[in-house]
């Protein structure tokens, strides 16, 4: 998905991808709302760079972490996904209410000697399939997000747009995002996205996360872009491009596919979309009751005269 590193391309094309998620009503049923967790205040993202053509054995090990966590009934939620663009990577989103919550969850895990031993063993197995593991910590920016509820349980594709900002230009970027918010409100596009600002592991960086129900949302985004551009106007587009050229160091736009087998999600999310999160194994093929005819022995070839 090669997109120009301009504000208009990186935002209007990508953010419109989640417009179909905005159809939720305020009076949604309680069980439905349980499948729509709010963006966490603190987000830890672990990115594993996987060796080429090693995704399958890597995933088999990654599934064992989830098995061990469920057996120990550990707290927390982790959404795992794998890159469909760029280098071969897996990304894990760990959600926390606060840094205190992060510490509590970590303490609970460390108190369980069996779990820590299992995880250490799995780390050693996984190491042979990865080239690097990188962790970043982000805090949620409510003012730069659109909090329309997203049905996360049914969002099987995600897009992340990471903006690396030149030092001292954060205010320009934040003003740009608010322009985007206002423009979508103007055209009546009820779009869901969450913006996170880097806290540790990265500096002057913003991560816009866009959940999607299917890749058709990307097709819809391309068509919807014209409406956004028209509402923004020529002056608005020029201003956005000006901010991009003056403020951005780079933009990374990545498409991801959620991996349910390596994700650790609450039972409410599983119940909301069991076919995805916990699909039933296919029944074994029924044995044939038809008797096979007896095979006649092959006729012997007479010896040559």
User: Is the pLDDT score of 295 beyond 80?
Assistant: no
Residues 52-70 as b/e (b if ≥16 CB within 10 A, e otherwise) read: eeebeebbebbbbbbebbe
pLDDT in tens, 212-237: 999 888 887 777 788 889 998 999 89
pLDDT at residue 2 in the model: 30
Domain ranges of the chain: 7-23+34-273
pLDDT in tens, 54-88: 999 999 999 999 999 999 999 999 999 999 999 99
3-state secondary structure of 133: strand
Mean per-residue pLDDT over the chain, rounded = 84
User: Is the pLDDT score of 140 beyond 80?
Assistant: yes
3-state secondary structure of 79: strand
pLDDT at residue 3 in the model: 31
Contact partners, residue 199, CB within 8 Å, separation at least 6: 42, 137, 138, 139
pLDDT at residue 7 in the model: 42
pLDDT at residue 8 in the model: 42
**Contact criterion met (CB below 8 Å) for 237 and 254:** no
**E strand or H helix at 70, and its extent?**
helix 55-72
Q: pTM higher than 0.85 for the full model? A: no
Most confident of 34-43, 184-193, 199-208, 213-222: 199-208
Domain 7-23+34-273 sits in CATH 3.40.50.920: no
Least confident of 39-48, 137-146, 168-177, 186-195: 186-195
The CA distance from 47 to 134, in Å, is 5
Judge residue 279's burial from the number of C-beta atoms within 10 Å of its C-beta, 0-12 exposed, 13-18 middle, 19 or more buried.
Answer: exposed
The CA distance from 297 to 301, in Å, is 12
Q: 77: closest CA among 286, 282, 265, 280?
A: 265
User: Is the pLDDT score of 29 beyond 90?
Assistant: no
Q: Among residues of the chain, what percentage have pLDDT more than 90?
A: 65
User: Is the pLDDT score of 135 beyond 50?
Assistant: yes
**Contact criterion met (CB below 8 Å) for 42 and 138:** yes
Helix axes 99-110, 113-126, angle to 10 degrees: 100
């Amino acid at each position: 998905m090669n997109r120009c590193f301009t504000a208009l391309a990186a935002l209007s094309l990508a953010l419109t991808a989640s417009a179909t998620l905005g159809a939720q009503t305020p009076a949604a049923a309680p069980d439905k709302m349980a499948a729509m967790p709010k963006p966490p205040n603190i987000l830890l993202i672990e990115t594993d760079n996987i060796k080429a053509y090693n995704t399958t054995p890597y995933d088999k090990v990654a599934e064992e972490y989830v098995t061990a966590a469920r057996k120990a009934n550990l707290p927390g939620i982790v959404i795992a996904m794998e890159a469909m663009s760029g280098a071969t990577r897996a990304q894990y989103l760990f959600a926390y209410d606060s840094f205190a919550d992060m510490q509590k969850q970590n303490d609970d895990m460390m108190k369980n000697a069996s779990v820590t031993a299992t995880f250490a063993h799995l780390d050693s197995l996984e190491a042979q399939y990865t080239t690097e593991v990188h962790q970043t910590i982000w805090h949620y920016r409510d003012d730069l997000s659109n909090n329309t509820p997203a049905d996360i349980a049914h969002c099987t594709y995600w897009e992340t747009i990471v903006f690396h900002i030149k030092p001292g230009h954060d205010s320009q970027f934040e003003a740009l995002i608010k322009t985007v918010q206002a423009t979508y409100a103007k055209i009546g596009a009820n779009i869901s996205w969450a913006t996170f600002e880097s806290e540790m592991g990265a500096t002057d960086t913003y991560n816009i996360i866009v959940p999607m129900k299917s890749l058709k949302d990307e097709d819809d985004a391309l068509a919807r872009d014209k409406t956004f551009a028209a509402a923004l106007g020529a002056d608005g587009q020029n201003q956005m491009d000006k901010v991009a050229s003056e403020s951005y160091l780079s933009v990374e736009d990545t498409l991801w596919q959620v991996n349910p087998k390596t994700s650790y999600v609450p039972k409410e999310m599983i119940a909301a979309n069991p076919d995805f999160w916990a699909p039933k194994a296919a029944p074994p093929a029924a044995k044939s009751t038809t008797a096979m005819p007896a095979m006649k022995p092959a006729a012997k070839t007479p010896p040559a005269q």
